Amino acid sequence: MEHKELAQDLTGPDLKVVASAPYVYHCHHFNLFHDQTVEDALGSEESFRVRSRAARRSAWPMLSAATVATGASTPVERLQLASAIFSWMGHGNLELLANATGGEVRGDHLHYGFTWREKYGDRVRRRFPVDAFGSGFAAAATEVAFGLPPGSLNPSEDSCFACRDNSCNISLAPGDGSEEIDAVDRKVVEAEVGTPGHGKEESRIAEITRGLNGFLEGITGDERGLVQGFGIYVTRHLSGYYDHTAYESIHLIERQAPQAVQAVEELFGESGHVCVFYTFGNLLLSPEWEGMVGKVKGDVEEVVSACVAIARGLGFGHWTIEELAPGQRLVLRSTSNYEFPFYRKTYGKSDKPRCYFFANAARAMMQLAHRVDWPSQPTLNEELYQSLFKQGLQWRIEETSCCAKGDDHCEVVVSKAD
């Protein structure tokens, strides 16, 4: 079996898996924002540790399953498989040169380092390496290749393109092999998600989703390990990485600085704004969308239903429009997303809603639907983002039910702010 065949769409709940590990499409704007939020919450060193640990915890089970599925039996075959999957994911190229006792890993066009320098490099001097995901993935890949338990190798990034070094170099040193991983894989996710619902505009949304899925299936990484679709550079990223880093950060702040919890939760939620603006927005303006669906006219119902279809196509779950009153209110529901299954399996039932991305993405959809002049084909840049989301955001949100709390569906109500 080829590594590309490891990817599957779970069409009912609109989720995606690779070698049984859930994955989603996210662009670098979201990825950098998310990781920066972890760094702001925990500090550079602790955040790198949490992020690389999250990378190992999500990659190790995936790579183990991949080696079984493809029949990769020698360390060389397994390392090559891991590198191929990493590039297919759009994370760049990893040259895995380590062995069972550790060693060096060379990274080229690593997603985080490369895009950090692209986005911020001319304005900000970064001093701390940024490729925690690549580092943790490299550790997991080497552990799986040599049949080692997780935690046997500890990664550190010694040089990073984001820090204006010429290349990214990662070292793997011996660890104690005591990392226990309770994988949140396809089986877990399918047990947690509910029956997909039907909402408004369902047939239009379903048709667009089918088209998107067909298009995305054929997209491959280029020779640099970068993935481009709809004119956007994206990653096929393990959703367990996002979940682990977000929830670990929030729980740590809950324990150590509870007065700061709301601020951190809002920041993780803001990542939903970033994703919808940059990824959904650019997708809607793309030639592919124009060809497959038609030019966006800008009606509120059109934009919101289009966004719901995009969410499904990108593997965010089966979101449905329960209610939409332009200018007033949106009620979005889901029985599947990439947040609550992880939370339920890893932490048990929550005492409060935990779908930060889902809830804030809903708010961002309403902002895009009401405040963007789509027929003028605007440029979705930082200036427009600031004016839409930092100056007079006109919507408030409430996650009125959440599967992380034990409810049978997640629901977010977006309503006009006073």
Q: Which is nearer to another protein, 122 or 408 (CB)?
A: 122
Residue 338 Cβ, how far from another protein at the closest point, in Å? Answer: 21
Helix (H) or strand (E) holding 153: strand 153-159
**Backbone conformation region of residue 286, classed left if phi is above 0, alpha if psi is from -120 to 50, else beta:** beta
Q: Which is nearer to another protein, 176 or 373 (CB)?
A: 373
List of E strands, 293-418: 319-325, 329-334, 395-401, 410-416
Q: Which is nearer to another protein, 233 or 395 (CB)?
A: 233
Q: Which is nearer to another protein, 146 or 233 (CB)?
A: 233
Residues that bind another protein (CB under 8 A): 27-29, 109, 114-115, 118-119, 122, 211, 214-215, 217-219, 222-224, 226, 228, 231-233, 278-279, 281-282, 285-288, 290-292, 295, 377-381
Residue 215 Cβ, how far from another protein at the closest point, in Å? Answer: 6
Q: What share of the chain is helix, strand, coil (3-state, %, to 5)?
A: 50, 20, 30
Q: Which residues pair with 17 in a beta bridge?
A: 8, 22
Q: Which is nearer to another protein, 43 or 214 (CB)?
A: 214
Helix (H) or strand (E) holding 169: strand 168-174
Residue 57 Cβ, how far from another protein at the closest point, in Å? Answer: 28
Q: Which residues pair with 299 in a beta bridge?
A: none
Question: How many CB atoms lie under 10 A from the CB of residue 103?
Answer: 16
Q: Give dist(CA 245, CA 237) in Å, integer.
A: 13
Q: Which is nearer to another protein, 159 or 286 (CB)?
A: 286
Q: Are strands 329-334 and 93-96 parallel, antiparallel or unpaired?
A: unpaired
Report CA torsion sign: 307, 395, 33, 143: negative
Q: Which is nearer to another protein, 53 or 91 (CB)?
A: 91
Residue 218 Cβ, how far from another protein at the closest point, in Å? Answer: 2
Residue 412 Cβ, how far from another protein at the closest point, in Å? Answer: 26
Note the Cα 19 to chain centre separation in Å.
Answer: 17
Q: Are strands 15-18 and 7-10 parallel, antiparallel or unpaired?
A: antiparallel
Q: Give dist(CA 365, CA 306) in Å, integer.
A: 9
Residue 124 Cβ, how far from another protein at the closest point, in Å? Answer: 15
Q: Which residues pair with 414 in a beta bridge?
A: 330, 397
Q: Which is nearer to another protein, 118 or 190 (CB)?
A: 118
Radius of gyration (C-alpha) of the chain in whole angstroms? 20
Residue 210 Cβ, how far from another protein at the closest point, in Å? Answer: 10
Residue 387 Cβ, how far from another protein at the closest point, in Å? Answer: 15
